Homo-oligomer: A and B are copies of this chain.
Amino acid sequence: MESNHSPFDMNRRVMIAGMAWLPALSGALLPTSSEGQTTSDVPLASWNDGSAKQAILDFVRATTDQGSAKFVPPEGRIAAFDQDGTLWVEHPIYSQVVYCLDRVPAVVEKDPKLKNVEPFKTVLSGNREAVAKLSLRELEKILVATLTGMSVDDFEGEAKKWLTNAKDTRWKRPYTELIYQPMLEVMQYLRVNGFKTYIVTGGGQDFVRVYSNQVYGIPVEQVVGTAGGTKFGYHKNGTPFLTKEPRLLLNDDKAGKPEGIHLMIGRRPNAAFGNSGGDREMLEYTGAGDGARLMMLVLHDDGQREYAYGPAQGLPDSKVGTFSQALYDEAKKKGWTVISMKNDWKRIFAFDKKA
Contact = CB atoms under 8 A, between A and B. Distances in A.
A64 B37 CA distance: 26
A241 to B, nearest CB: 8
A27 B261 CA distance: 12
Given A262-B242, A263-B227, A288-B239, A232 B255 contact: yes
Contact of A263 (B24, B267, B288): B24
Given A232-B285, A240-B281, A281-B232, A267 B24 contact: no
B219 A262 contact: no
Nearest to A209: B266
A196 B152 CA distance: 22
A230 B262 contact: yes
Contacts of A266: 24-27, 205-206, 209, 220-221, 223
A119 interface: no
Interface residues of A, number: 41
A41 interface: no
Nearest to A284: B240
A278 B249 CA distance: 22
Interface in A73-93: 75
Given A220-B267, A221-B267, A262 B75 contact: no
Most B C-beta atoms less than 10 A away, residue of A232, A249, A267: A232
B232 A265 contact: no
Interface of A: 24-27, 75, 152, 196, 205-206, 209, 213, 219-221, 223, 227, 229-232, 239-242, 249-250, 255-256, 258-259, 262-268, 281, 284-285, 288
